[in-house]
C-alpha cells in the first residue's frame, strides 16, 4: 500500500435547499472539521454541494471516484424515508460491492441517541478503488456516527464507524491513513501496521519455532 500518497476524500452534501442557497450548508463544514481533527496523515477534500436528485448524485459519485480518484467518499443527507430521499438508491446504483456492516453499525450508534435511527437507510459500498459511505445530515449526528459514543467519563462506550475505514482503504490498495487516537483509533490487525514486514512482525517471528501449531 502507498505510504506517502495523499488521501483524497470526496465530501458530498445533498440538499435541495442548501444547493439553491436557501440556507447555508452545514454538512461539508462539519465533515471537514471532524476529518481535520481525526486524521494525522496528509489528506485533501473534493467537495460537492448538490440537490436531492438521483441522477445528479450518481453522476457526482462516479465523477469523484472515476475522475477525481477519491479513496473515500462521504455523503451527507438524503437517507431518510421522505420521497426526495434517494441517496441510498443512487449509491447502490453505482456500486461494485455492498458493505452492509457500515450501515448496520451506524444505526446501532444512532439508537443510543434517538429511536428514529430505525428510519435511516444509510448504505456503504465500494466502487473501484473507493469506499463510499452515506452519513446523516446533521453535524452532531455526523460526529457521533464517525467518532462513536462516549460515557460520562469521556471513555469510548461504542466505537464509531471510522475506526474501520483506514484498514478498508488499505485493503483496496489506497494510502495508509493514520488517526488522532484522542478522537478515533483506527483498527488494523498487527500484521497490517506500519513497520511489519510481509505481514509478520519480528517479535512473532522470533517466538515461532518449527513444529508449533501457532503460525507467526
pLDDT along the chain (216 residues), means of 10: 80 92 92 98 97 97 98 97 96 98 96 93 97 95 94 88 98 97 95 60 37 39
Residue 5 confidence (pLDDT) = 83
| CA dihedral of residues 169, 41, 108, 106 (deg, nearest 10) | -60
Residue 62 confidence (pLDDT) = 98
Strands of 114-183 (E only): list them. 124-127, 130-135, 148-150, 156-159
At CA 176, angle to CA 175 and CA 179, rounded to 5?
125
CATH of domain 7-185: 3.40.980.10
User: Among 31, 37, 39, which Cα is nearest to 13's?
Assistant: 31
Instruction: Report how far residue 90's alpha carbon sits from residue 112's, in angstroms, rounded to the nearest whole number.
Output: 28
Q: At what angle do helices 139-147 and 100-110 cross, to 10 degrees?
A: 120
Kindly state the DSSP code that residue 175 receives in the 8-state scheme: -
Residue 216 confidence (pLDDT) = 36
- The residues spanned by each domain of the chain are 7-185
Instruction: Report how far residue 114's alpha carbon sits from residue 152's, in angstroms, rounded to the nearest whole number.
Output: 18
pTM for this model (two decimals): 0.87
Amino acid at each position: 500500500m502507498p505510504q506517502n500518497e495523499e488521501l483524497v476524500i470526496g465530501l458530498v452534501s445533498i440538499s435541495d435547499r442548501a444547493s439553491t442557497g436557501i440556507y447555508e450548508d452545514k454538512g461539508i463544514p462539519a465533515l471537514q472539521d471532524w476529518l481535520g481533527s481525526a486524521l494525522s496523515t496528509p489528506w485533501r477534500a473534493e467537495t460537492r454541494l448538490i440537490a436531492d436528485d438521483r441522477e445528479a448524485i450518481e453522476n457526482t459519485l462516479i465523477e469523484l471516484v472515476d475522475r477525481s480518484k477519491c479513496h473515500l467518499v462521504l455523503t451527507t443527507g438524503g437517507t431518510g424515508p421522505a420521497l426526495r430521499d434517494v441517496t441510498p438508491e443512487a449509491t447502490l446504483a453505482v456500486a461494485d460491492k455492498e458493505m452492509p456492516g457500515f450501515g448496520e453499525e451506524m444505526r446501532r450508534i444512532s439508537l443510543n441517541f434517538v429511536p428514529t435511527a430505525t428510519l435511516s437507510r444509510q448504505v456503504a459500498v465500494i466502487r473501484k478503488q473507493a469506499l463510499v459511505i452515506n452519513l446523516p445530515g446533521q453535524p452532531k449526528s455526523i460526529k457521533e456516527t464517525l467518532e462513536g459514543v462516549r460515557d460520562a467519563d469521556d471513555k469510548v462506550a461504542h466505537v464509531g464507524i471510522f475506526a474501520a475505514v483506514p484498514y478498508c482503504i488499505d485493503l483496496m490498495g489506497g494510502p495508509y491513513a493514520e488517526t488522532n487516537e484522542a478522537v478515533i483509533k483506527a483498527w488494523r490487525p498487527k500484521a497490517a501496521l506500519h513497520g511489519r514486514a510481509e505481514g509478520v512482525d519480528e517479535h512473532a517471528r522470533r517466538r515461532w519455532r518449527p513444529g508449533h501449531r501457532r503460525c507467526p
